[in-house]
Structure 1
Amino acid sequence: MKVLCRNMELDREQTMISSSPFVISFLLLVSVPVLFVLAPRVLPPKTLPSIPNRDEMDDLALFRRATLASAGGGGGLRRRAAAPPKIAFMFLTNSDLSFAPLWERFFRGHERLFNVYVHADPSARLLLPPTPSFLGRFIPAKATQRASPTLISAARRLLAAALLDDPTNAFFALLSQHCVPLHSFRFTYHAVLANSDVPLATNGDGVLRRRHRSFIEILSGEPGLWDRYVARGDDVMLPEVTFDQFRVGSQFFILARRHAVMVVRDRRLWKKFKMPCLKSKEDSCYPEEHYFPTLLQMQDPEGCTHYTLTRVNWTDSIGGHPHTYRPPEISGDLIKELRRSNSTYSYLFARKFSPDCLDPLLELVDITIFRD
């Protein structure tokens, strides 16, 4: 009897062993679709790199100082003969400032009317020595990269540095190392500071101030805007920014002082825009083209022109980069064409130019570019 029972147990074990591969295969087959259903709910989605916490803390301290230093200024322009309003030219770069000699010609003789600030990516190898206007004008910088909010942070850093550095900085022009001027400094200065039909205002101290508008592109209803809105996730921007409030515009702008203060003071929208995009949405991730126009549209739409003064050619863009002008294309006719605009003002700057365009551009300084 014991022998019989033992034989039966052995037969049962052999049957289980022989069937186990089938059972395992069946379980694996069933588990695959289950994983596809449950994995997105259990595993966090893959995102692009975010801003390091240390960088964020450093920026918050900087922005707080800039906000406090600007408190009570109201962003208006006080008419003081001894201190004329200045334009802060802010260069955001990750390579050499190849067009510095051209900018030197642009700035020459107008030292009382401008300041220069440069944010250079720490990983960039800058081989060219700074020219006089750029010497000592580099601000503490952090790493930047495309498809991330680091470009917003860099622009805000420049704004904060310029606000802290000189209270007579009245306008803040964001430029890249690939930008060049299309007019003389005198023409540019008067165009930016010209009265742009914004009503006069006071700040409770009885002093009447001119309220100048910011030159920033603010667009809605553009193709692909929804994909950009959900680049961080379907409902991530809510409730602070609804889709009908979401805007797009050129990365390059000229902000009036009150708007520069508004940008460095902001915390509410920044907590949304600083969130990294999903890896799957990388092709729709351009935070620097959305944060500034969305913020200003929500807080002061009447104080903005809704157009930029920096000309860019997107007709044959590649990989999100605009057309790059090469030396054979440089001519007086090109400069005149780049100036043309559908807005009240002609374009004041243009991009994107390759570094070897410097010499042909310098040849046009006296005969075209600075002849307004």
Structure 2
Amino acid sequence: MYLGLATVTLLNLISYAPVQPNAHEKAWGDAAEYYAMSVQTGAQVDNPFALRMLSPWLVHTVNRFTGISLDSVWLAFTFALALAAATVFFEFLWVRLNLRLYTSALAAVALACTFWYAPYAFSNPYLVDPLNNLLYLLALWLLFDRRLILFALVIVVGAINKETTLLLAPLYPLAAWTRSRSLRDKQVIGGLVAVVVAGGLYFAFRLWAQALIGGDYGFGAGQANSGLLGNIRFALSSNKGVDQAALYSTFGFFWLIFAYGLYREFRRERTRSLLLVSSVWLGLCCLAGRLVATDTQRVFVMLAPLVIGLVAVQLDRHRGEARRIWVGVVFFLYLAVNYKLASSSTIFLVGLAGLLVFVLLEVPPFWPKPASGRVPPADDGPPTEEFLPHRGSLERD
């Protein structure tokens, strides 16, 4: 399985990454800013990019000690992080959510092939997004395992890479409160303390970074505007009214399966479902983040582990060889949408076909409905004749 994920990631690199000499000269958007920061730690680039120092500093350090070109280090860095994220996601589904190996593997491949999650990062491989994606995954796993100290540590490290990681911090006390319904619960109190500590440490980092850079990096300055309100106006006008289409294109028809999964989680566990609470919280964070960011898809792709994870939970309920094939078809059609294997005029029909297959699995005309709850991993069918257990008694001659 791990070799398969490595192969998919390598294919993404070969298909999308710029490998010509001095490829950084064609970097666009904030990637050009991060490349400049990897050349010189503390470079005076636009806000908020200047304070997202972790990824550029790591690349700069590797370049300094190995002599490998910055372009090559950025590519290797992106490859390693994309592969690590897909692997951690696979383990999260298989080990933590207890899904079948088959479903977990297909979902991990789907994550690695989600265009705005991995292929886009290879096409412009000077971004902080790959490390951010990996840290989001680790934070979610630690949230599910109730490992508060490690969760807070990941949040602080992630905030140095990209300040939006701080938005995950309140999720821990919120999730603890939905379980206990008491503000006196130790997990709730500990989570609130962790939020304050993480915020304080990040504020201290900002003061240090601003002193190192030597500039004034107030929130919202430097993005074709002079303040937060101007930043919001600038961001909201950037897509010229096509935000809905951009949002849908992030996950395509998986959005609808995800919404159905949220409904089932609410019916089954109400607000005690961590998948439900995490999805709603992170979705609200993405909506808030879109107010100050221009790339709708890059903002909402942060939901990828939860969207694809909930889709995997729904599809994992379907057992047997026949259903297993159709589960694979759903994932294949998702890959076809992301890799644009169909023409732009028929890509909507491909997504519609994927949704139709899922609906037929959920409301099957020819086979019984799947179990209503999550089914623990089990054999996909009865044992074959070769492995049938002995029945009866042994006779002595």
* Pairwise same-fold verdict (TM > 0.5): no
TM-score scaled by length of structure 2: 0.25
TM-score scaled by length of structure 1: 0.26
Q: Which one has the bigger helix percentage?
A: 2
